[in-house]
Amino acid sequence: MKQREVTGSDNIKWTCVQAYAGLEGKLSEKTEELSQNDEGKVTVVCTPSGGAQSVRIELQKNWEEDVTDDELANAIKQAQQN
């Protein structure tokens, strides 16, 4: 499963998981293909350790390796403000 944890500037710990990442086999391949938008980005759902509401963000396909913790935390903060 594509998952990462990051702590924001407000000390809230977030667990981020790519939508549909838990599926396996051919269904997983097709679902991941369909989950990408026209820009090749995927939906990532980030859930806080307490109080705050989960957010959905759009990140590049290889977000788990290519997006830094700071970039991920900033994307979460920006999604909360929208």
Instruction: Note the pLDDT tens digit of each residue in 26-80.
Output: 545 555 555 555 577 888 999 998 767 899 999 998 898 999 999 999 999 999 9
Is the CA virtual torsion 16, 20, 21, 23 positive or negative? positive
Q: What phi and psi values does residue 39 have, to the nearest 5 degrees?
A: -95, 5
Cβ(48)–Cβ(41) below 8 Å:
no
Instruction: Tell me, letter by letter, the H, E, C secondary structure of 19-82.
Output: CCCCCCHHHHHHHHHHHCCCCCEEEEEEEECCCCCCEEEEEECCHHHHCCHHHHHHHHHHHHHC
State residue 29's pLDDT score. 55
Q: Which is more confidently placed, 5 or 40?
A: 5
pTM for the predicted model, two decimal places: 0.76
